[in-house]
Amino acid sequence: MDLAGQVGRRLRELRTEQGISLSELARRSGLGKATLSELESGRRNPTLETLYALTTALSTHLTAVLTPATAQAEVSGGAVDAVLLERYQDDEATTEVFRVRVRAGALQESPAHPPGTTERIIVLGGTARVGPTGAATLVGPGRQADWAADVPHEYSAPDGDAEAVLVVRYPRPGGAAAPR
């Protein structure tokens, strides 16, 4: 599990996405070209200062570079890439927050989860089609949808990849019945 390699790849992604050359980024960030070159190829172990200089020069946050490397639990499938951002647990339920990308074209069917499980998606960009199989709805940027996930459900993205946050809530099996 090469941490430097992952961060390096992510840095190069961010830079090329913005159409900036390595030399240009070196100028903007005040770092040496050598530093950037070896960093992006995963041959170095950057300093906090270096990372900060880089991410601000790329006008993002440190987390943009680090999150893909930190999150471990992947619950991905055919059309969905998911990265666990947060996991919360109390007497009533366990809740997991994922950052997901729904890939265009493909359809992912998810089997029923335990009784009482609910899912909620908040779309950041693109349009996703999600919900119980047969009753999926379209969700655009900034909008949300929620559904009971104890029946089969599906994810797809009709018009290009969709980026979203997915919140899955599993009520505690034996635990405190949640009155409402």
Partner DNA sequence: CGCCTCCGTTCCATAAACAGAACGTTCTGT
Partner DNA sequence: ACAGAACGTTCTGTTTATGGAACGGAGGCG
* Selected range binding DNA among 33-41, 56-64, 123-131, 164-172, rule: CB under 7 A: 33-41
Q: Which of residues 68-127 bind a copy of itself (CB under 8 A)?
A: 69-71, 84-90, 92-93, 95, 97, 99, 118, 120, 122, 124-125
Residue 9 CA to residue 15 CA, distance in Å, equals: 10
CA–chain centroid gap for 119, Å, is 16
Q: Which 8-state DSSP code applies to residue 58? A: T
When binding is defined by CB under 8 A, the residue of 40, 46, 145, 162 that contacts a copy of itself is 46
**Residues contacting 45, CB < 8 A, separation 6+:** 4
Residue 21 CA to residue 97 CA, distance in Å, equals: 35
Q: Is 18 in the site for DNA (CB under 7 A)?
A: no
Q: Output the CA–CA distances (angstroms, integers) from residue 5 to 8, 12, 38, 57, 149, in the order listed.
A: 5, 11, 10, 20, 36
Q: Is 49 in the site for a copy of itself (CB under 8 A)?
A: yes
Residues near a copy of itself (CB under 8 A): 3-4, 7, 45-49, 51-52, 55, 60-64, 66-67, 69-71, 84-90, 92-93, 95, 97, 99, 118, 120, 122, 124-125, 140-142, 144, 146, 163, 165, 167, 169, 178, 180
